Structure 1
Amino acid sequence: MPRTTQAFLAAGLIAASLSTQAQDNRSLTIGTLNWAENIAVANMWKLLLEETPYNYDVVLSNVGKSVAFSGVASGDMDISLETWLPATDASYIEPHKDRLDIHDVWYQGAGMGLVVPGYVNADSIADLAGQGETFEYQGQPTIVGIDPGSSISSLTEDAIEAYELPMRQLSSSEVAMMAALDDAYQRQEPMVVTLWSPHWAFAEYDLKYLDDPKNVYGDEEAIHWFSRKGFAEDDPWLTTVLDAWQMDDDSLGSLMAKIEEAGDPEEGARQWIDENRPLVDEWLAAGEDADQPL
């Protein structure tokens, strides 16, 4: 056989192989929020779905909260793994409700509020009204919070007004907030922060929520995953699997703690998967009778 012919055949075989691989690798973009629990579950699902025989090509798109909803609604992202309902995220969903599908609950009992170390002499948000100077941070009575676009940030401004607190909210990142809490905790000094459950901090520190008699932060909620319109028809297998996915304080807390310990989300998630294979196999097995994605 002439070398030229051999070269063309080889090129054709390579092209066919690449085409088959491209068909086998299912593309999935997950809108990911910079929150501990969201980073944890996004990396967990990325690793699971990239395993053989699933062979997804998963991209984690790190975005702000409002962009997660608009991006999924526009189809720039396929899914996002965290929306709190019925109340917290209702305003984020409303503008896009005709272009989003809200799917099943994977975590029950989500909540948020103001949190202090267990050694702090306060049990209610109302107690802070007379203790503002006790919680000085960078020269001012302060509640240390996260990014100003978050629901908990907005609710904290409402709490400051409702309880007439002589305090400001200092918006930062979750990382900066946790660093401030850790520093105060190590020195046994008062500190009040905005926190939510689930969060790894409750496994690492002795913390307590301050009672909220005015119910500013609302009742316990559930965490759902959500998708662009039509995703369930495009990928019934993954929809079935994610609808079967359930985590509780023990499983999610241990995943977040493993990531914190490893110092790397993907490595920590990989270690957790290895240690919890029967649980993740149970989720994945739920899709056995579902149609494969188009």
Structure 2
Amino acid sequence: MKLTRTWLALLSCTLFIVAAACNGGDPPPEDTGDTGDTGDEVDEETADKGEIVIGRNNWAENIAVSNMWKVLLEEEGYEVDIQAMDKAPVWVGITRGELDIAPEVWLPHTDEPLMDQYEDNVEMHDIWYENTGLGLVVPEYMDIDSIEDLNDIQDELDGRIVGIDPGASLTQMSEEAVDEYDLELDLVTSSDPAMIAEMSQAYNNEEPVVVTLWSPHWVFSEYDLKYLDDPQNVYGDPDDIYYMTRTGFSDDHPEIIEWMNNWEMDDDSLGSLMAEINDNGEQEGATNWIEENRELVDEWLE
């Protein structure tokens, strides 16, 4: 009996020690109704908000603003994927809901055919750049001022106009220009980088060259270039640049729509962004530009 009482006493003591250790020796905390702390709030602010897919074509300003928004949206907690493709597939991807955002739509002229075809299946939003330009461009050193005079220097140009991708609206307009002006030149399609590379080589050698180009574009800050007069107005009047999203995106992400509707750029801001990306690559260039222009981008994200 004495041994049994001793064993029970030891067992009771042991259970008391274990219970005290589990509770830290203190009574359980009082329920205050607080379900989180500062750390949890930070986690919620930086938590992944889902994936956003941006569709962009291979134009310098489109590459620039697509990467700029990728960096900004990732800072806000989104996962962002950029899909590179020609302009027409971008529209198709938006209509099918495979892409969320297309940052560049030229209206009312350049993208009018695509708008007429797809306008019922996209969401069109605000203007972020005003008064574009596009047409046939030559170096300033060339003694020519009008599209009408291109046939006079056909041999000097090797019978070629250097163009961009075949699916671009600018390419279609340039094909119309060839017909409208009875040009004895072939429109050679390639891509924006390939066109710029050929133009740059000719420019550095002070050789004649004619290319399809548009404003805004960083090359106008790097080279002394001029648009050829277009008396037939084949390339139309200046456009404004809008952005569009898939149907339903406004309901899914109203905060992004609010930010992007605040977005405005001019030749200086867009030109500096394109130059930064051209010098340092897409992600690094966009990140550098954002840090240098934090006050501006913060106004968009208010």
What range describes the TM-score normalised by the shorter chain of this pair? 0.7 to 0.9
Residue by residue over 1:180-217, the C-alpha shift from the partner in whole angstroms, topping out at 9 and shown as x without a partner, is 11110111011000000011110100000001010000
Query: In structure 2, what residue type is equivalent to 1:154?
Result: Q
Matched residue, 1:108: 130
- The CA distance in 2 between the partners of 1:181 and 1:24, in whole Å, is 43
**Higher Rg:** 2
C-alpha contact (below 8 Å) 2:45/2:77 kept by paired residues = no
- CA distance change for structure 1 residues 49 and 22 in 2, over 3 Å: closer, same or farther? closer
Matched, 1:279 2:292: no
Question: Where do 5+ consecutive residues of structure 1 fail to align?
Answer: 2-18, 286-294
Q: CA deviation at 1:261?
A: 1.2
TM-score of the aligned structures, taking structure 1 as reference length: 0.86
Matched residue, 1:73: 95
- The CA distance in 1 between the partners of 2:138 and 2:117, in whole Å, is 35
- The CA distance in 1 between the partners of 2:247 and 2:46, in whole Å, is 24
- The CA distance in 2 between the partners of 1:21 and 1:207, in whole Å, is 47
C-alpha contact (below 8 Å) 1:128/1:165 kept by paired residues = yes
Candidates 208, 213, 220, aligned match of 2:231? 213
Q: CA deviation at 1:93?
A: 2.2
Counterpart secondary structure, 1:133: coil
Counterpart secondary structure, 2:232: coil
Matched, 1:29 2:53: yes
Query: In structure 2, what residue type is equivalent to 1:185?
Result: Y
Residue by residue over 1:115-161, the C-alpha shift from the partner in whole angstroms, topping out at 9 and shown as x without a partner, is 0000001011111122211212xxxx110001111111111111111
Q: CA deviation at 1:24?
A: 3.6
Candidates 114, 118, 125, aligned match of 2:140? 118
Q: How does 1:54-93 map to 2 (within 5 A)?
A: 54-93=76-115
Q: CA RMSD in A?
A: 1.8
Counterpart secondary structure, 2:94: helix
Query: In structure 2, what residue type is equivalent to 1:105?
Result: I
Question: Where do 5+ consecutive residues of structure 2 fail to align?
Answer: 1-17, 19-42
C-alpha contact (below 8 Å) 1:260/1:268 kept by paired residues = yes
- The CA distance in 1 between the partners of 2:267 and 2:45, in whole Å, is 38
Matched residue, 1:186: 204
Q: CA deviation at 1:94?
A: 2.3
Q: CA deviation at 1:281?
A: 0.6
C-alpha contact (below 8 Å) 1:114/1:194 kept by paired residues = yes
Q: How does 1:1-294 map to 2 (within 5 A)?
A: 24-51=48-75, 54-136=76-158, 141-262=159-280, 264-285=281-302
Counterpart secondary structure, 1:191: coil
C-alpha contact (below 8 Å) 1:129/1:163 kept by paired residues = no
C-alpha contact (below 8 Å) 1:147/1:173 kept by paired residues = yes
Q: Give the number of aligned pairs.
A: 262
C-alpha contact (below 8 Å) 2:46/2:77 kept by paired residues = no
TM-score of the aligned structures, taking structure 2 as reference length: 0.83
Q: CA deviation at 1:22?
A: 10
- The CA distance in 2 between the partners of 1:77 and 1:280, in whole Å, is 24
C-alpha contact (below 8 Å) 1:29/1:77 kept by paired residues = yes
- CA distance change for structure 1 residues 110 and 98 in 2, over 3 Å: closer, same or farther? same
